[in-house]
Structure 1
Amino acid sequence: MQKSSFQNKVQNFGRFLSGMVMPNIGAFIAWGLITAFFIPTGWIPNEGLASLVGPMITYMLPVLIAFTGGQMVAGKRGGVIGVIATMGVIVGTDIPMFIGAMILGPFGGWVIKHIDQQFEGKIKPGFEMLINNFTAGIVGGLLAIFAYQIIGPVVSNLNEVLRVGVEFFVNRGLLPLASIFIEPAKILFLNNAINHGILSPLGVQQVEEAGKSIFFMLETNPGPGLGILLAYWIFSAEGMVKESAPGAIIIHFFGGIHEIYFPYVLMKPSLLLAVIGGGASGIFTFRLFNTGLVATPSPGSIFAYLAMTPRGNYLGVFAGILAATAVSFVIASVLIKRSVARGDTMEFESAQSRVREQKGRDLHMDKANKKLSASEVSKIVFACDAGMGSSAMGAGRLRKKIKAAGLDIEVVNKAIDEIPQDAQIVITHQNLTERAKQKAPQAEHISIQDFLQTPVYDQLVERLQAGEDDQKKQSKAVEKKEAQSAAFVNQEILKKENIKLGLDSVKRTEAIKMAGQLLVDSGYVDQDYVNAMLDREEEMSTYIGQGVAIPHGVGSAKKKIKKTGISILQFPEGVNFEGETVYLVIAIAGVGNEHLKILANLSELIEENTTAEKLRTTDDIDYIYEEFTL
């Protein structure tokens, strides 16, 4: 199942938000530790050091986010304008302005970027610095006024809408559904406004009547955030997200600083479903046990919760926190595992690299938008999720055509996250092109639908040949043919016992499982790799044309591969792959580039209809083995 345009936009939006927040995670941790230790209800109360807490959350963190957002759009100059604009909204409201920073940081960068484009080439030599400084000052000042007058009141009104929404559910006895408003508000750093401005006054009134109140527990429950962090820790791919999650758990659950997990949700907005589900489950459980607190637990740690729990309510408190954690964890686990199976990047490094990529994007925009000639191209990269399946097939076909045309151009295949910076042309499936552009903004990008049966390769070769000297082409063709005449084949990659012919037709998933199990039984992969193959197929069909499919795991599944191996299943009557009939199912597990020779052979074999037909119908295992390995 391919992702819709809306899903892609939501995912890109989440990545952009995380790109602003995640590079500054150290500042969040510093603020969280100072808060947890030194506020009056902290571990080591200290009035002097506690005075750092307010300025850090009011000024430091929003300013850092604004600068990062502006820098992502227009470099350091954009970051400066983003900060100036954000100061207007910080001064214009009385709540932490993370929302304003996330809006005005990138907006300030976008404005100055377009202003600079208007002046480009029109400034007399010697006046560049003067004009640049004055435009930055004027634009920044105007944006600060705009933020003070417009954005600040808008955010304040948003807070009022959230207050009305919470009261709506409270007044109608639908408290669990209040999480629909509370949890998103928390993620947007409106947690203190919601808690102290709405819920605490209601709680105080209820305490006077009943001696305890559930309102103190609606926003402060650490369960939803704990579930998110546990899911990241257990199921996210290797990287800084996974490594930072345990520390965030300690700060969140034991220190009570819930803001520490907000960036983890911003990184993947669909996780709002997890915190909403966890929050609603916790509230439902609290009501089921008729539990409450005597005052607001501040900070919202497990210790503060227990300190504010009246006698006889401990079981209900633990049950509500546990229920919220469990539901949030289950939902988040499903969403995170799906992202990992798709190869989505959710790492801190990705958020940080977006800044570097964006800075170089404007410099290379003209080059990326024009069509390059042969004299400008030395490397073409085919890219897919894992870099070992469809991209290898496409690279093999184009490499053959490039060689036949006598062009001295290297053709390689890579995973999208590993596209080299010296690539001049990048070819991807149309559903992956946007991701590829983010990784290689300097390159020309070509989108295709079918890695085998497409006219794009011939069109590209013809274009690259334009202006190439005939004699030079011929000499290069001879040199490349001689240099590549020796073929290396590792026959351990494909064993005869992993070729199965004349099989009865089965369902697509069963065919993939059969092919994957051969890889498992031969010691090429762990059992989990088969599940990664199925997940990959759900996201995008591995059918490549000519009755052939090459199921394989996504990039994140490479750690399940022990050594390179291939298995081949032949179904003379065919298997239905989302409307396409597949006769050869070729499962791939690739370490490095060891499997590429066989894939290159495959691309050449199935290009000829007669050979492709024989592969689909032969009962001679030796024939298939020799065709693929020699």
Structure 2
Amino acid sequence: MEAKVSKKKTLKTQIQKLGTSLSGMIMPNIAAIIAWGLVTAIFMAAGWFPNKQIATLITPMLNYMIPLLIAYVGGRMVYEERGAVVGAIAVMGVIVGAKVPMFLGAMIMGPLGGWCIKKFDQMFQDKIKSGFEMIYNNFSSGILGMILAIFGVFVINPLVTAGSTIMSKGVDWIISVHMLPLANILIEPAKVLFLNNAIGNGILVPLGIQQAAQSGKSVLFLLESNPGPGLGILLAFMLFGKGAAKASAPGAALIEFFGGIHEIYFPYVLMKPALIFAAIAGGVSGTFTFSLLDTGVKAAASPGSIIAILLMTPKGNYLKILAGVLVAAIVSFIVAALILKADKSDGKAEDELAEKQAQMSQMKAESKGAAPVAGQSAEKAVQEYADVKRIIFACDAGMGSSAMGASLLRDKVKKAGITDIPVTNTAISRLKDEDGLLVITQEELADRALQKTPNAMHIAVDNFLSSPKYDQVVLNLKALTQLNPEKQIQKKNEEKPTKNQRLAEIDYAAVTEVDFIHHDQREGSATMAASLFKDRLKKVGKQVPVKNLGINELEDSKQHLVIVTPEAEKNLKLRYTEVQVVTVKNLLEADEYSYIVERLA
């Protein structure tokens, strides 16, 4: 393994996990929040182009659309589509009759609905008789959703309403006594520990939307998303930094300020921890300026780009917003410059840091108690990549920095002529443990990535945008073709397998679930086929679960043996790479079934 991290769950990891769960419900719905913010800013009575008819969208989008979407995503995080539907039904109980937008209620009822239907299925789903699966699925979700919605009306609604009122008044009081800037004393260090999405999208955005619905704007949207503190630190590195940090700072500053990817300046702070005081000073001064000028934005500015912030700025507030960003950048620049000028190191350690880390990893792999034979260690390092089938960049939110890192490595892989290994990005919470997976993440998040994918190969980097480990990955993957040329020739010349060969290639020992996929919403035949196949297994005393699923409901894992018609096969293979597939002409009756049943565990 390229990087080995402790499996022990630290307090920071637990906080990150909770924050990721909260932000995970908000992040997929940022587009909906932005849509609401744009409609409000442009078409409300005090907007740029007032339109009474279009403005009627504002209240329903705020009170119904956004909470429903949040609850749907929250339920899906717990139990995929069934959890999503039950969560959306349940949240209606807290929405109806509420005098405040029910974002907090949605973040409670969505996961609660998903958890309840998941536990219900665990108790009863395997006891359902063949042919009654559809009745069970529909009525269990509907009845449980109804019960939770009623529970929400009488229990959760009053509690959340009271809690939202208390929090709203608390925020208003903090703002009124000019103490809001002190929040950045906690926010800035938490951002550097990769809790930025948890704080911004999990806490500040829901509170900010509630405040913006009442007053037309909120400064809370700017507490975490202000690009000024990061810009000031990077400008200081441009003028007073040393070595590689100074050389990379200009590009990082452009990406942070205009691209809104704040994670790019975190490694600079981690490299010199004293710079956290520069970030805090910039954040406090920027928020103080916003509060002093009584300004804010209409909706969440995500990512935290100056472009996104200006798009969400209400009419007449542009100079005030720019003033707050500028003050934050100047203050953080001054503090960072003083810290960097006081640094007496020659910058050599910074330039050699990545090289030494790579060298230590190689030495660790080679040291087995005796000196290796010449050339042996290099070949061994290459062979560690022999099983890699897929590379995933994982960060807290699955956007921004991980997307840019994946793009950089994808380009390097493509130029090296490696076409059979996809490079993608995702949120750590969505990682799935699977064979042949190489996970690349930031060092601060490495322990969480290992917990999610203990069987994967892991690489931890300081900075997604500039790591020499990318070149090592490409070189090792490229070297595989030289160490195993006969394997590459065989791969090019292999013929299309026959039906019997395809069945024989299935890893039946790995299969823990058989799935029938219905095509074009035709659930009837797939439901009956699943029922008949389940009966076949019961007759021979085998208990492998058999399910009828939609094509988007699968988990991409070789533990799933998927049976489809030729019409659905193409769409299936476009979506999934790891599931094991058997294609049959007739779902209800196929010669392949006897062979499959005989070999399943």
Which TM bucket (shorter chain)? 0.3 to 0.5
TM-score by length of 1: 0.42
- Greater Rg over alpha carbons, structure: 1
